[in-house]
Chain A
């Protein structure tokens, strides 16, 4: 994760390593793209982000694509990837860490086909002349939530996390950084339940925060968000970061969350294939390249500025231009 922190300062879609095109430019043609996802493409979450990114490119007339679901198992996904390569696909995207090694394995045997893998920061060092890679910045996930929280004029904010794993800790540091930036007077009370799946612990933790006077609660967890939403609804306060329906409570209590947007990364892949610049590029989705974006704002809280999205767009613009940089959220806790 330390290695990733250096990448977060890169503006836009960052290129790492030497450039080398696996084939000639095919600028005028629609690319034939295969997208493999580990789960179901209509999951409303990680897998669907890939589908929507590809759909948008298809709508723009840049690609035709086929999506293959349930490709979690490398033993079965590798032959599928190989088939796409043999069938003349221009670009094969493995969306998910599970597909990283199969993509890299098959790419060796098809130097004229373009492949894209997902992974952690270590993927950058494994990329070859016909493979690009992608990851996203967990700290930005938290930063944007905190930045929004600070726009709500709340003096005391609660933060509920699950296990104290490095990427979750980075997201929480990002949250505190974002909040501090937009409302330096706001305080955060932070709790980790230690569990990624115990909803009751999250509910109790949230109740404890509410008892201490927090007026808004952010959660970095998805599964435990059910507990946060339940406790918030009981107390009549609002949340940030609850995803899914949470038994119907998300619509009642959650103002906004942060989600993945794969379009910019997929567009960069396609552009690179078309202009002959594909290969050895490692993309980090974050705020600057709109790889992480806000979900539609739930109009349940009058404290939300009417122009919040416009303000977020301003933030993104500053980051993209380099006028603004974010601190290192992956360092030791302060």
Chain B
């Protein structure tokens, strides 16, 4: 695992040496090869009148997002799976959401869309690394994920592939559904063991059915 991540970091060096910019970059495919198939991301997003708690979990090719509310209140839960054939399917679909497979997730669950795009080679090449608090992010142009007329680009934490922030296309600033870039973000290290996710199989809805 360490060597794979080192490979991705080498790509930073190559881009730096021959590059046209001093901004370090990373090879997204090499980075993906270094990602562990599990993470639990917890963080907060400060709203004008409350603090929203957000949890994003990856367990293999299943991504579960929970949040949308202050701590202790009923929250929203949505999950998607990346199938072996490369398609994204909704496992849990919040009330009111259209989960018919016609839209690529553009929020935190863009983590799954990015993984899918890398695997099917729609997404490749080097992307700049951007500082976000103590973390390094890679922002992916949303068009590469199949999103038309995007407002924001999803930005993944480079070592995990977890979408942590969004960058506005107009201002170039982190905006919208972005976790507060301070100590609230918890991305467990390699020794982290996650709890198994209980999936409601009967609730599965094929995005492409």
- State the A residues within 8 Å of B (CB): 38-40, 43, 45-47, 49, 69-70, 72-73, 96-98, 119-120, 136, 138, 141, 162-167, 192-201, 203-204, 222-227, 230, 243-249, 257-260, 292
Which residues does chain B contribute within 8 Å of A199, judged by CB atoms? 106-107, 151-152, 166, 176-177
Q: Given A165-B69, A166-B74, A247-B168, decide whether A194 and B184 contact each other with a Cβ distance below 8 A.
A: no
Q: Which of B33-85 contact A (CB under 8 A)?
A: 44-52, 54, 65, 67-76, 78
Which residues does chain B contribute within 8 Å of A46, judged by CB atoms? 46-51
Which residues does chain B contribute within 8 Å of A227, judged by CB atoms? 151
Let me know if B46 and A223 touch, CB within 8 A.
no
Which 5 residue pairs are nearest across A and B when measured between Cβ atoms?
A: A194-B97, A197-B107, A196-B68, A247-B168, A197-B177
List 21 interface pairs A-B (beta carbons < 8 Å), by A numbering: A38-B46, A38-B184, A39-B46, A39-B184, A40-B182, A70-B183, A97-B71, A141-B49, A165-B75, A195-B76, A195-B78, A195-B97, A197-B68, A200-B151, A222-B48, A223-B107, A226-B151, A230-B151, A247-B151, A247-B173, A259-B49
* Tally of A-B Cβ pairs under 8 angstroms: 182
Which residues does chain A contribute within 8 Å of B184, judged by CB atoms? 38-39, 70, 72
Complex: how many Å from CA A4 to CA B176? 29
Complex: how many Å from CA A192 to CA B51? 21
Looking at the complex, which of B18-26, B88-96, B116-124, B189-197 is the stretch in contact with chain A?
A: B88-96
Q: Which single residue of chain A is at the shortest CB-CB distance from B45?
A: A223
Q: Given A45-B48, A72-B183, A96-B51, decide whether A201 and B171 contact each other with a Cβ distance below 8 A.
A: no
**B65 CB to nearest chain A CB (Å):** 7
B87 interface residue, CB < 8 Å from A? no
Q: Which single residue of chain B is at the shortest CB-CB distance from A241?
A: B48
**B52 CB to nearest chain A CB (Å):** 7
Complex: how many Å from CA A90 to CA B94? 45
User: Looking at the complex, which one of A119, A193, A204, A247 makes contact with B171 (CB distance below 8 Å)?
Assistant: A247
Which residues does chain B contribute within 8 Å of A224, judged by CB atoms? 176-177
User: Looking at the complex, which one of B44, B54, B73, B178 makes contact with A165 (CB distance below 8 Å)?
Assistant: B73
Q: Which single residue of chain A is at the shortest CB-CB distance from B47?
A: A222
Complex: how many Å from CA A136 to CA B48? 12
Let me know if B151 and A70 touch, CB within 8 A.
no
Let me know if A194 and B95 touch, CB within 8 A.
yes
B100 interface residue, CB < 8 Å from A? no
Let me know if B170 and A247 touch, CB within 8 A.
yes
B205 interface residue, CB < 8 Å from A? no
Q: Given A39-B184, A136-B49, A226-B176, decide whether A198 and B168 contact each other with a Cβ distance below 8 A.
A: no
Let me know if A244 and B175 touch, CB within 8 A.
yes
User: Looking at the complex, which one of B47, B69, B103, B150 makes contact with A201 (CB distance below 8 Å)?
Assistant: B103
Complex: how many Å from CA A198 to CA B183? 24
Complex: how many Å from CA A166 to CA B67? 13
Complex: how many Å from CA A164 to CA B95? 6
Which residues does chain B contribute within 8 Å of A226, judged by CB atoms? 151-152, 166, 168, 175-176
Which residues does chain A contribute within 8 Å of B71, judged by CB atoms? 97-98
Known: A69-B182, A195-B107. 18 other contacts (CB 8 A): A39-B182, A45-B49, A70-B182, A97-B70, A120-B70, A120-B72, A165-B69, A193-B97, A196-B107, A197-B54, A203-B149, A222-B52, A223-B45, A243-B47, A244-B175, A245-B175, A247-B173, A259-B48
Which residues does chain B contribute within 8 Å of A243, judged by CB atoms? 47-48
Q: Given A163-B68, A165-B69, A247-B169, decide whether A198 and B44 contact each other with a Cβ distance below 8 A.
A: no
B105 interface residue, CB < 8 Å from A? yes
Complex: how many Å from CA A98 to CA B53? 10
Complex: how many Å from CA A164 to CA B149? 26
Q: Which single residue of chain A is at the shortest CB-CB distance from B77?
A: A163
Let me know if A197 and B170 touch, CB within 8 A.
no
Complex: how many Å from CA A224 to CA B46? 13
Let me know if A245 and B47 touch, CB within 8 A.
no
Let me know if A39 and B180 touch, CB within 8 A.
yes
Q: Given A45-B46, A198-B105, decide whether A167 and B94 contact each other with a Cβ distance below 8 A.
A: no
Which residues does chain B contribute within 8 Å of A138, judged by CB atoms? 49
Which residues does chain A contribute within 8 Å of B178, judged by CB atoms? 223
Which residues does chain A contribute within 8 Å of B98, judged by CB atoms? 194, 201
Let me know if A163 and B168 touch, CB within 8 A.
no
**B73 CB to nearest chain A CB (Å):** 6
Complex: how many Å from CA A193 to CA B93? 11
Residue with the highest number of chain B CB atoms closer than 10 Å, among A97, A141, A225, A259: A97
Complex: how many Å from CA A120 to CA B72? 8
B29 interface residue, CB < 8 Å from A? no
Q: Given A38-B44, A120-B73, decide whether A163 and B96 contact each other with a Cβ distance below 8 A.
A: yes
Q: Which of B138-173 contact A (CB under 8 A)?
A: 142, 147, 149-152, 166, 168-171, 173
Let me know if B150 and A245 touch, CB within 8 A.
no
Which residues does chain A contribute within 8 Å of B93, judged by CB atoms? 194
Residue with the highest number of chain B CB atoms closer than 10 Å, among A39, A164, A196: A196
